[in-house]
Structure 1
Amino acid sequence: MNGGTESSAAYSFMGSLQRAESPRPDGHVCGAALIAPQWMVTAGHCVKNEAGVLAGYPHGWKVRIGSTSVSSGGEVVEVDKFIQRPGDLQGNDIALLKLKTPAKSRPIKIAAGKPAEKTPVRILGWGMTCDKLEPKCFPDHLREADTVVQAAAPCEDVGIRETEICVGSLDGKIAPTNMDSGGPAIVRAGDDWALVGAVSGGNPGQPGVYTAVPAFRSWMNDVMAAKQPTLEGAVDLGDCSGALVKANAAKPSDPALLLTNGHCVTGDRPAPKSAVVDRAEKQEVTVLDHAGKPKATAATTKLIYATMTGTDVALYQLDKTYAQLASKGAKVFKLAATGPREADPIDLIAGGLRKSWTCAVGGVVPELREDGHVLRNAIRYTEDCVPDSGASGAPLINPHTGLVVGIHNTTNQQGGVCTENNPCEVDNEGHMSVHKARRYGQQTAGIVPCLTAGSRIDLSLPKCTLTKPAS
């Protein structure tokens, strides 16, 4: 940190994020602030990793909390998971750290809103005190400085967004430096402190740019308060799972549609590079309530579409209309027109297993190969998403919108290479990789432009890109 003095007392919420790859002997890389017993907030760029994922489970990361010293005192807690907010780092440079065990230290409250210009603030950090990567530039003692929020203009050289604030002296003599990243800017709240910012960046000789933490309150609350999804609307399809879905233009009198995997059909599976349309197939269908008990029953009459190329989906027409199922209280989902992004939350509800999982998108795989089939833009889950065998066909639901964004379809079970139940990944450069126990889903947005009136599918529509039957 430029300017300021050594802190005379510890701040219970102040943390040092420490990683093995730090150039410092003490392992410090960034500051962080404890906002709940098991959660800390830091900068998004502080959780960069070799895999390039926005959410994951790091090895060897830890935080020292509640000490003026970066190397002793306070408490040391291991980091269980990191979640970076999706989007451009500029304007979204924020991440959450979930701790393996709750910290004993007292968290800081988040301020009610973004502070106005000229608001007095205090900044904290163990950032470098000179420009060389040498021990003399790595302070062990926490530094603090009192300054103010500036207008946006002094920080415009590095770009400043509505979700950021400009903090420090105009000449940069009081400002964050390298390795202050993620550290807090705090304001007085009665006899206590409130968190208003986390260091994002800046230029020498200027104030620093801080992410305005209150601007991300809803996102943080959503991440920290993720709840186990209910089974309402999940469908038990024997050895597979599914969900009732409909197009936006569907009428109550239309026959209901059931979405599941292409590999869950009862007849011959769709061949590679092909699809199946309008084939008579009968399966019993049970729609569940929130507790996993039967809510309504139906039967499939026709497989209107199925493929395992590009995506792994099947759509069945049922013997009951949307109105008839609604009269029994059965839940019907709408399909999202766009796919999920990395780090987006997803709920996976498997009716066939009577189980659900709270998950997140770990990434989008350009190409997934399995047993001769090629799947595009597959959804890779984060490591904590471990649906059991038998969850095939379970819908992936965005918990904020309630829309189906994908469908669970496969796991690399034995570490095999591109064989059945052992999919392999291929990146945009053509490099193949195998990840044993990694689980995947498929996007369903491509179905939306192909649905027509009367619960039918029209593969000739201009925007329909689903795989067509082989000629």
Structure 2
Amino acid sequence: MRFRRASAIGVAALAAIAGILTGPAAPAQAAAAPAPVAVAVTLANTIALSNCSASLVRFPSSVGTDSAMMLTNGHCYEGGFIAAGRVIQNVSSTRTGTLLNSSGGSVVRVRANRVLYGTMTGSDVLLYRLNTTFAALSSSYGAVPLTISAAHPTAGTGIGIPSGYWKRVWNCSIDGFVNTLREDTWTWKDSIRYNTGCDTIGGTSGSPIVSTVTGELVGINNTSNEDGARCTLNNPCEVDAAGNVTVLSGRSYGQQTYWFTTCLNSSRTIDLTVSGCLLTKP
């Protein structure tokens, strides 16, 4: 797992494409559609924890007066790795981290007061409620949370993985999805596999996976196969629907986060009884 062992998002302006004349007497052709411009993923609104990375996040339906939220991995929980099959909800917390700006400079210390949801089963996620609101962070520090996408990510999409711990951005792409990713006693479903060469390292655990198409958070970085071993700690293996096991040495992975949006009630609160909720239940 990618924990440490021991954003304002800029969008370039679209270039105008002029019509092309086929000859002096020919009418001008219609202007071509502008090519998509990639979103520049920076460190803005990422959070450095003592041993992991995190980010300031919002649901698509969140409003300014809501309590701000901080997202990281379940295995970054201050109480240690969350046992397989366990779900944590509405537990008091005093976890702190440092909110960063686009270049990795410190903006302000943020403090959690509650774990809203955490697990290492099905996914590897931990969502904290902070002791301030989105509006307060925005007015005082210009902080703009990443929006958790409500859609399943797409293979081939360019992604940025900004690590608050390392103050560095990994630029990668989504290679595909894994039916089941198994690591030691934990299993994760529909995991995100990165392209070969996306070499996330210890301390990048909890980093948001940000689409360079939309600028939204589409997943959370959590592990790599470090030694080529099979299904052991720090060496996850891929298990297909038929039970066949594949080991890809050096390959890195992330987990789904759109599941959060399937479990929100009308008060924008995580409610595991909502019909169609995909988050793991206790």
| TM-score of the aligned structures, taking structure 2 as reference length | 0.84
1:256 maps to 2:68: yes
Distance in 1 (alpha carbons) for counterparts of 2:68 and 2:268: 7
What fraction of aligned residue pairs are identical, expressed as a percent?
38
Match of 2:53 among 236, 241, 249: 241
Distance in 2 (alpha carbons) for counterparts of 1:227 and 1:355: 16
Q: For structure 1, which segment, 318-327 or 446-455, has the greater mean C-alpha deviation from structure 2 after superposition?
A: 446-455
1:416 and 1:422 in contact (8 A); partners too: yes
- The match for 2:99 is 287
- The match for 2:151 is 338
Where do 5+ consecutive residues of structure 2 fail to align?
A: 1-16, 24-31
Distance in 2 (alpha carbons) for counterparts of 1:454 and 1:286: 28
Query: What's the offset of the Cα at 1:445?
Result: 0.8
Match of 1:419 among 220, 229, 232: 232
Query: What's the offset of the Cα at 1:456?
Result: 3.2
Is the partner of 2:255 in helix, strand or coil?
A: strand
Distance in 2 (alpha carbons) for counterparts of 1:189 and 1:367: 54
Match of 2:186 among 334, 351, 373: 373
Match of 1:266 among 75, 78, 96: 78
1:218 maps to 2:30: no
2:165 and 2:203 in contact (8 A); partners too: yes
1:429–1:460 Cα change, 3 Å: same
Output one character per residue of 1:54-79: Cα deviation in whole Å (capped at 9) or x when no partner. Answer: xxxxxxxxxxxxxxxxxxxxxxxxxx
Distance in 2 (alpha carbons) for counterparts of 1:361 and 1:338: 15
Output one character per residue of 1:390-449: Cα deviation in whole Å (capped at 9) or x when no partner. Answer: 100000111221111000000111111111111000123321011111000111010112
Where do 5+ consecutive residues of structure 1 fail to align?
A: 1-110, 116-187, 191-213
Is the partner of 1:379 in helix, strand or coil?
A: strand
Query: What's the offset of the Cα at 1:253?
Result: 1.9
Aligned AA (1:264): C
Match of 2:168 among 330, 333, 355: 355
Aligned AA (1:409): N
1:311 and 1:376 in contact (8 A); partners too: yes
1:443 maps to 2:256: yes
Distance in 2 (alpha carbons) for counterparts of 1:228 and 1:317: 27
Is the partner of 1:218 in helix, strand or coil?
A: coil
2:39 and 2:213 in contact (8 A); partners too: no
1:291–1:319 Cα change, 3 Å: same
| TM-score of the aligned structures, taking structure 1 as reference length | 0.52
- The match for 1:296 is 108
Query: What's the offset of the Cα at 1:387?
Result: 1.9
1:20-169 correspondence runs (5 A): none
Is the radius of gyration larger for structure 1 or structure 2? 1
Aligned AA (2:115): L
1:390 maps to 2:170: no
Distance in 2 (alpha carbons) for counterparts of 1:370 and 1:250: 33
Distance in 1 (alpha carbons) for counterparts of 2:105 and 2:176: 33
Aligned AA (2:144): K
2:157 and 2:212 in contact (8 A); partners too: no
Is the partner of 2:142 in helix, strand or coil?
A: coil
1:253–1:228 Cα change, 3 Å: closer
Distance in 1 (alpha carbons) for counterparts of 2:261 and 2:134: 18
1:359 and 1:385 in contact (8 A); partners too: yes
Distance in 2 (alpha carbons) for counterparts of 1:282 and 1:411: 29
RMSD, aligned α-carbons = 2.2
Larger RCO (alpha carbons 8 Å, 6+ apart):
2
Aligned AA (1:375): W
